[in-house]
Structure 1
Amino acid sequence: MKSPGLTLVSYGGKRYRFDAGALCTELLTTGGPGEFARYESLHEPADLLRWVERSRLPSGLEMPVSEGELAETRALRNALFQVVADRAHGRPLAARELAAVNLAAAGAPLAARIEADGSRGWAPGATVARLLATVAREAVELLTGPYADRFRECGSGNCGLLFVDTSRPGRRRWCAMEHCGNVHKVRAHRARRAEGDD
Structure 2
Amino acid sequence: MVLRTPEGRPYRFDPGALCLELLVTGGPRSLTRHDVLDGPAGLVRWAGESRLAPGLEPLLTVAEADVRTAHAVRDAMLRITADRARGHRFDRPADATDFAVLNAVAAEPPLVARMGADGAREWAPGATGAQLLSTVARDAVDLFTGPYADRIRECSTSNCYLLFVDTSRPGRRRWCAMERCGNLHKVRAHRARQSAV
TM-score by length of 1: 0.93
CA offsets 1:95-141 (integer angstroms, 9 cap, x no match): 11111111111111111000001110011221111111111111111
Among candidates 78, 81, 89, match of residue 81 of structure 1: 78
User: What amino acid maps onto 2:29 in structure 1?
Assistant: G
Q: Residue 170 of structure 2 corresponds to which residue in structure 1? A: 169
Query: Runs ≥4 in structure 1, deviation > 4 angstroms?
Result: none
Q: Does 1:33 align with 2:28?
A: yes
CA offsets 1:34-70 (integer angstroms, 9 cap, x no match): 2322221111211111111111013111221122211
Distance in 2, matches of 1:157 and 1:110, equals: 37
Distance in 1, matches of 2:64 and 2:130, equals: 13
Q: Residue 103 of structure 2 corresponds to which residue in structure 1? A: 102
Calculate the aligned-residue CA RMSD, in Å.
1.0
Distance in 1, matches of 2:6 and 2:166, equals: 24
Q: CA deviation at 1:71?
A: 1.2
Taking the TM superposition and a 5 Å limit, the aligned residue runs for 1:5-84 are 6-61=1-56, 62-84=59-81
Contact persistence 2:61–2:126 (CA under 8 A): no
Q: Percent identity over the alignment?
A: 58
Contact persistence 2:155–2:176 (CA under 8 A): yes
Q: Residue 121 of structure 1 corresponds to which residue in structure 2? A: 122
User: What amino acid maps onto 1:134 in structure 2?
Assistant: T
Contact persistence 1:153–1:162 (CA under 8 A): yes
User: What amino acid maps onto 1:41 in structure 2?
Assistant: V
Distance in 2, matches of 1:194 and 1:95, equals: 50
Alignment coverage as a number of residue pairs: 191
- Unmatched tracts of structure 1, length 5 or more: 1-5
TM-score by length of 2: 0.94
Distance in 2, matches of 1:35 and 1:28, equals: 14
CA offsets 1:164-187 (integer angstroms, 9 cap, x no match): 111111110100000011111111
| SS of alignment partner, residue 169 of structure 2 | coil
| SS of alignment partner, residue 96 of structure 1 | helix
User: What amino acid maps onto 1:80 in structure 2?
Assistant: M
Distance in 1, matches of 2:181 and 2:70, equals: 28
Contact persistence 2:157–2:185 (CA under 8 A): yes
Q: Residue 194 of structure 1 corresponds to which residue in structure 2? A: 195
